[in-house]
Amino acid sequence: MPRVSSPFLKVPEAEWVASNALAFAIRDRFPVSPGHTLVIPRRPVATWFDATPEEQRALFELVDEVKRGLDSSSRPPDGYNLGINVGAAAGQTVFHLHVHVIPRYQGDMADPRGGVRHVIPGKGNYLTASVKPLSTGGLEDPFQRHLDPLFARATDVAVLAAFVQDSGLEALREPVEAALARGARVRILTGDYLAITQATALRRLLDWMDESAARRGAEEQPETPRGTFEARVVETEKLGRSFHPKSWRFEGPGLAAAFVGSSNVSHAALRTGVEWNLRVERDRDPHAWQEVVAAFESWWARALRFDAAWVERYAARARRMAGPPLPDDAEVEELELPRQPHEVQREALEALARSRNERRQRALVVLATGLGKTLLAALDVAAFEKARKQRARVLFLAHRAELLAQAAETFRRQLPESRFGWFVADQSDLEGDVVFASVQKLSRPDSLAKLRESPRFDYVVVDEVHHAAAASYRTILASLEPEFLLGLTATPERADEGDVLGLFDDHLAYRADVGEGISRGLLVPFTYHGLKDDIAYENIPWRNRRFDPEKLAAAVQTEARMQRMWSAWEEHRATRTLVFCCSVSHADYVKSWLKERGVRVVAVYSAKGTDDRAEALRQLAAGELDAVCAVDLFNEGVDVPAVDRVVMLRPTESPVVFLQQLGRGLRKAEGKPTVTVIDFVGNHRMFLDRVRALLALADAGERLSLRDFLVDGKEPELPPGCSVQVELEAKDLLARLLPNGRSEVERIYLELRETWERRPTAGELYRMDYRPSTLRGPEGGWLRFVQDQGDLTQAQSRALEMGVKWFDELETTPMTKSFKMVSLEALLEAGALAEGLPLSQLAERSLAILRRSPELLKDIEGVKALGDDWRNPEPKSFLKYWNDNPVKAWTGSPWFRKEGDQFVPRLPITEETREAFVELTRELVDYRLAQYRARQRTETLGTAFEARILRNTRDPIIKLPSRKQRTDLPEGETDVRLPDGSPWRFRMAKEYCNVARPVGTDRNVLPDLLRRWFGPTVGQPGTAFRVRFTPGPDGWSVAPIEAEVLSLPARGTIVAFPSLRAAAGAVIHSLALESAPEAEQVNLPVQARGEGLFAIRASGDSMDGGERPIRDGDWLIMRYARAAGIGAVEGRVALVQVPDSSGYGYQVKRVVREGDRWILRSDNPARPSFEATEEVVPIALLVEVIPQTSP
């Protein structure tokens, strides 16, 4: 035996779980199951046979003691394995005798029979062949139950099925994808006998082959390369006989099994039908195994590598065949009906149809993760085709191959007969009916050349459109002229939409973010718990908005951090958890750590050693697992409705990815009222982005700025049932990262720059309702301000100095029409700002820009020189008109001239500043067109109209559009309904509306209404808030136009009650608060906004403790919570109704959950807390505390 050198003797006694005079026990550092323990002699003896009889007895005495301890735990094992390895051949790696005590649990492996026999793979269950060699199918023994574990282990899968149905491929999608992600080779061989195999199934097989090649080619040096997928077909006409074979073969480490029998690839054969399939194993019957292998490979070699053209010929032949007699095993299934839209998708589809009816050619839609934006695109393509009465050529653009693969699956269900093409990695097919292309590849010069030469695309979808890829999108779109362009994003904030809105002509067709989905009951509410992260992020390198992966992984894998997480895990209980980790090693570490605490957990990632993803999802849904640790795989496109807790151990750098991860838990499921989110918040500016994303989920008029939440302590008004709780220390960390500015506009500029790590553009600020023009100084305009902030590159600064007069003219030139900026946009889209264009091309491109945006097209409405059909003028007529207008205006300036038929720039552009000059010009053109479109919408938005909010000497007022341009504006006293349905009367003067009041009252409360909608800064210089008036059958209605609101503290009046009982009575009996008995008006510096607010005085010291103590005499600002269940106020301070000897009493307590109990907790530990009974009713929520010493 090798000489003993024992690491066990270095384990400190503090970590021993049991001991006696001759032996001790420790937990295994790499446990097979929770509680796995090693029992070790104190003397460093090598093997069992070298131990004395006394030592052997001592070891097994400790085995008994360890078992008793495990049996008394909260989750006692269902069985045990005891094991001793003796010698290297038996697997001994540490030559110090140790006895393994391995707890076993029901379901910890698919078939545990054989126990310790599994030390030699394949020899474990000697009863397998005799007990269950046959799968008999039906609901009691579905065939897929036998296949899924084999897919999860195999590295080589070979399926032979005479007939393939689309429903069968749908059932196999997840296990096949999981096998490919692990690097497996998967082959499917089918036949065309009697045309029973569905053409739609063959098209899906082609999709899978193309997708497999695309995703494999798109990988960048993966640790485990993706596997390969291939399908072939046997042409039975060439055989002259029938073709009915079925076999399923799986090979991998320790695995060689096959089924031969009756199951084809169909839903019935896999999940419901009575199908007999006999198992063949290489170890038990090598001869039969070889027969199966040889037969498959023989047919595979002679089968056809089919393509799309072959499938179309096959489909035509299948349609011509007039129902020949079918064999008994030909389970022909109907195609699955296309999925139907839910409520939000229906509204979005209607909005897109309206957009096209308005002759718009571009539209952006915002749909939260979980609301089905890809399905929306597929449904709208189908609607577009129906309206055109012909098939459309569709281009689907995304930045990752995984998104394209998920989109292809969705589109295939909706468009079963379309031919798909792929333009990713080595795939370069632009000829399909629907082409899935990566932004990275298509934006290359050689790809753009191919794009311009390919047939025109009628409909283009851009998925996950965001700022980082805006330049690439713009390059691609300049080479396309689709009838309709749809942008999709799940971006939570309007701030993040600003840069890309210009790509879609400032037309946001529809928006339903996470808050909207929760409010409508399509997603479940969340409770967010932000824990202070003690990692020193300033010591981890940060490049390209990412932490250094290796150093980050080392920083997050600490016992202290896991203990902090575990405390929150125990406090906020759940049944199924997704844990997001930052690396493979981190996921394995977290998995082992949780296993030691009895958690049933697996780790899933795209590398060797991963647990099977499909099996993990199945077990998590079935409750056979408590948690899954994941690295990236569950960010997008994975539906796990049962998840009711999300733990973010990874400091996600992107707010979009953060919302995607949150979205994994927002899916609705039976018996799931909410999802708990446990997150770590550290001392790095990227954490500001995720807090901003959460605050953005509030309604437009209720949104808080980061400063409101982090510094001023305001509570966000989130969708019903949602809450955001961030530890005070974590808030302090983030508050120190916030910048300060001299004005609202400058402050938001600095705040966005800090969180985005890039400056906002002028267009982005304008679309957030901030006015960049207010930052103009005596030295110049917007770009000079940006330069003073140090936010221009060296090349941009040089371009600005050389072209300062040009940029100043762009920013200030009057725009009675859009023509000058449209001409510049045409040059920019053509990449010709420096060289210019032929006048005919300039006119053609300019007309295309006008046509796709109704706000711009309005500028040529009714122009006599363009003829009766002014939307589609003759090219010569429009060329002359364009020459006489913007071309004449520009060539009359120093910046352009005409040379023959050329429009030639004379801009101060050098080779060194060319790119920077174009960037700055594009920014200002985008800004001016955004301004112009907004102005046009305000003045000509059908019969509805928009109006800006200004400020007189004291209060905000409404500035009406020009009555010369809108002769239909209401005038005088006008009845108007608010969004909540309440009737008001607005006094519409010639230019302004400065008086409004609820019907039946006399006091002007328009300023209060506008402040409630937009916050105290409404109407101040630098802001541009707006309202929309809309006519309807019952008269006019008014609503605020969504805007990001950044509030400052304001003093005002609020309804107050002298006692908790008086306040509760008003709420319970649904009285108008201001007219309730005992109500009075008090003047307080209230920061909270919205309806249902009232004030009461704190009495006593029961809540005088914790992070935000409430002291006797403090004012409590509450918001009524009618019909809210106790679960909706978890973790919040609330006014609650409790039973007492007189009937009911009223208290202010914090509502917390401890296990299965609800507790009304006093924050002062010296005061008692109480268990909440079923009779406890929440009356109102605390939103703000105003100390009695406040001025």
The sign of the CA dihedral 45, 49, 53, 59 is positive
Helix (H, G, I), strand (E, B) or coil at 247: strand
DSSP 520: T
Query: Do residues 490 and 464 lie in contact, with contact meaning Cβ atoms separated by under 8 Å?
Result: yes
Query: Do residues 951 and 1023 lie in contact, with contact meaning Cβ atoms separated by under 8 Å?
Result: no
Phi, psi torsion values for 9, nearest 5 degrees = -75, -10
Residue 972, classified by CB atoms within 10 Å of its CB into exposed (0-12), middle (13-18) or buried (19+), is: exposed
Tell me the two tokens of residue 548: 């250094």
Residue 1008, classified by CB atoms within 10 Å of its CB into exposed (0-12), middle (13-18) or buried (19+), is: middle
Beta bridge mates, 1083: 1053
Residue recorded with tokens 């055989």: 239
Q: Residue 850: enclosing H or E segment and its boundaries?
A: helix 839-851
Query: Do residues 818 and 929 lie in contact, with contact meaning Cβ atoms separated by under 8 Å?
Result: yes
Return the half-sphere exposure (C-beta side, CA atoms, 13 A cut-off) of residue 715: 21
For residue 709, CA distances in Å to 696, 704, 724, 731, 1182 come to 12, 6, 10, 8, 15
Q: Residue 764: enclosing H or E segment and its boundaries?
A: helix 762-767
Query: Do residues 748 and 697 lie in contact, with contact meaning Cβ atoms separated by under 8 Å?
Result: no
Q: How far apart are CA 423 and CA 411, in angstroms?
A: 16
Query: Do residues 501 and 930 lie in contact, with contact meaning Cβ atoms separated by under 8 Å?
Result: yes
Query: Do residues 442 and 407 lie in contact, with contact meaning Cβ atoms separated by under 8 Å?
Result: no
- Our answer to whether residue 1069 is catalytic in this structure is no
Query: Do residues 271 and 144 lie in contact, with contact meaning Cβ atoms separated by under 8 Å?
Result: yes
Phi, psi torsion values for 437, nearest 5 degrees = -130, 145
Q: How many CB atoms lie within 10 A of CB 675?
A: 26
Dump strand ranges (E) for 828-982: 837-838, 896-899, 902-905, 945-951, 956-959, 972-977
Q: Which of 98, 146, 267, 684 is catalytic?
A: 98
Helices 613-622, 143-153: crossing angle, 10 deg rounding: 130
DSSP 777: B
Beta-strand relationship, 484-489 and 434-438: unpaired
Query: Do residues 937 and 943 lie in contact, with contact meaning Cβ atoms separated by under 8 Å?
Result: no
Residues shown for the chain: 1191
| Residue of 681, 716, 684, 723 whose CA lies nearest to 702 | 716
Contacts of 312 (CB under 8 A, 6+ apart): 199, 419
Rg (alpha carbons) of the chain, rounded to whole number: 34
Contacts of 1143 (CB under 8 A, 6+ apart): none
Helices 343-357, 373-388: crossing angle, 10 deg rounding: 40
The sign of the CA dihedral 1101, 1106, 1110, 1116 is negative
Q: Residue 728: enclosing H or E segment and its boundaries?
A: helix 728-735
Q: How far apart are CA 1189 and CA 875, in angstroms?
A: 74
Q: How far apart are CA 152 and CA 254, in angstroms?
A: 13
Tell me the two tokens of residue 1082: 């008090």
Q: How far apart are CA 954 and CA 1007, in angstroms?
A: 9
* Active site amino acids: 98
